[in-house]
Amino acid sequence: MSSNKLEKLLNPSTDGDLGSLISRARRMGELTGILCRALPESDRNAIVAANLRDDGELVVICASSAWASRLRYETDRLLQAATDAGIAARSCRVRVSQG
């Protein structure tokens, strides 16, 4: 595959095959970072990933049910961090990673 084709395929600023997927992954990574930084330092490694659904539901994925229990007490803090970052989250759901 030529480097031009690969660049077009991976370029998120075009309508390339993977551009929207890469942009979405970047936004999820940025959201995850925002939420992690909002937590106490001892809890920052709890979040594996985060996403915002179209209906405004903030979905926070953690590594274990123990972390999920702790993070459920922090949903107000997580929603506030999202709001402070300009993200229109209306509710928060904490889920456990399947893998």
- SS3 track for 15-79: CCCCHHHHHHHHHHHHHHHHHHHHCCHHHHHHEEEEEECCCCEEEEEECCHHHHHHHHCCHHHHH
pLDDT computed for residue 34 by the predictor? 96
pLDDT computed for residue 16 by the predictor? 61
* Rounded Cα distance, 17 and 56, in Å: 26
Give the global pTM.
Answer: 0.80
Residue 17's pLDDT band (cuts 50, 70, 90) = low
Domains of the chain: 3-96 (3.30.300)
pLDDT computed for residue 99 by the predictor? 66
pLDDT surpassing 60 at residue 12: no
Stretch 71-90: mean pLDDT, rounded?
95
Stretch 7-33: mean pLDDT, rounded?
77
